[in-house]
């Protein structure tokens, strides 16, 4: 059991989130090279905020995470390119459901239980919204707490949860209200999300082939 949570900066949190995500969504291309990890951090979809890290920044943050055993080199295989994997789940003993929730909070910022439920399918299949809430409760009641519920702001329909592995800057979070969606707009949004996921998977495959090609040169 943890006595104190590691406090990570924004780059380190993004890296852990990306490694967790890719280990679940594209396991055939995991662990990740530095180039693939940088691209994963800089994805335009499923990220908030969108960032533009350079490899030197990611490399420095990875080394910081290695120093506290949250990231390590992948061992084995024939590749001469360094690959990185997270030790987050094993080191801190999370269930798949808890890991999925934390991954989404790392990559997308504060989320409602409903937002977690609608975006978690590729990481973990929750049986219901209630199971998401139960997982959040387990994380918030952990010793020390791993997530907490923010107070609901004026104009917000639901309160959002944040993780406690780094400092939360409240001024960055804005509530955006949208008109009530129709079934067609909801379906279109889902189709767009699916296409974005497919594009990101294709990028992962290209990065994998690029690393393989470098090994042959």
Task: Give 35-88 pLDDT, tens digit per residue.
Answer: 999 999 999 999 999 999 999 999 999 999 999 999 999 865 555 678 999 999
d(Cα 91, Cα 36) in Å, to the nearest integer? 24
- C-beta of residue 69 within 8 angstroms of C-beta of residue 58: no
Which numeric CATH code is attached to 95-177? Answer: 1.10.10.10
Indicate the domain borders of the chain.
Answer: 1-93+182-217, 95-177
d(Cα 196, Cα 79) in Å, to the nearest integer? 29
- C-beta of residue 84 within 8 angstroms of C-beta of residue 32: yes
CA quadruple 135, 25, 47, 31: dihedral positive or negative? positive
Q: Which CA distances in Å does 41 have to 17, 174, 211?
A: 9, 22, 17
d(Cα 15, Cα 63) in Å, to the nearest integer? 11
CA quadruple 115, 110, 70, 75: dihedral positive or negative? positive
Q: Is the pTM of this model over 0.85?
A: no
Count of CB atoms situated within 10 Å of the CB of 194: 10
| Average pLDDT of span 79-101 | 89
Q: Residue holding tokens 């279109």?
A: 188
Tens digit of each residue's pLDDT (9 = 90 or more) over 131-179: 999 999 999 999 999 999 999 888 788 899 999 999 877 644 444 333 4
Q: Do domains 1-93+182-217 and 95-177 have the same CATH topology?
A: yes
Question: Of 44, 81, 86, which is closest to residue 62 (Cα–Cα)?
Answer: 86
Which numeric CATH code is attached to 1-93+182-217? Answer: 1.10.10.10
Tens digit of each residue's pLDDT (9 = 90 or more) over 11-23: 999 999 999 999 9
Sort strands 147-149 and 83-86 into parallel, antiparallel or unpaired.
unpaired
The least confident of 28-32, 53-57, 201-205 is 201-205
d(Cα 146, Cα 94) in Å, to the nearest integer? 11
Per-residue confidence band for 93, with pLDDT thresholds at 50, 70 and 90: confident
What was the pLDDT predicted at 1? 53
């Amino acid at each position: 059991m943890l006595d104190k949570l590691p406090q990570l900066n924004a780059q380190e949190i993004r890296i852990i989130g990306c490694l967790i995500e890719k280990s679940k969504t594209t396991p055939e291309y995991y662990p990740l090279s530095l180039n693939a990890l940088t691209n994963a951090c800089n994805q335009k979809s499923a990220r908030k905020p969108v960032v533009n890290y350079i490899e030197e920044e990611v490399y420095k943050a990875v080394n910081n995470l290695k120093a506290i055993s949250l990231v390590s080199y992948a061992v084995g295989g024939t590749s001469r390119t360094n690959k990185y994997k997270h030790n987050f789940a094993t080191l801190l003993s999370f269930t798949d459901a808890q890991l999925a929730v934390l991954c989404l909070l790392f990559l997308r910022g504060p989320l409602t239980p409903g937002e977690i439920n609608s975006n978690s399918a590729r990481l973990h299949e929750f049986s219901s919204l209630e199971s998401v809430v139960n997982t959040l409760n387990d994380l918030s009641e952990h010793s020390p707490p791993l997530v907490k519920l923010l107070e609901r702001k004026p104009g917000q329909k639901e309160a959002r949860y944040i993780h406690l592995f780094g400092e939360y800057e409240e001024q960055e979070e804005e509530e955006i209200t949208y008109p009530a969606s129709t079934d067609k707009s909801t379906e279109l949004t889902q189709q767009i999300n699916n296409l974005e996921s497919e594009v990101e998977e294709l990028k992962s495959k290209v990065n994998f082939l690029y690393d393989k090609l470098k090994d042959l040169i």
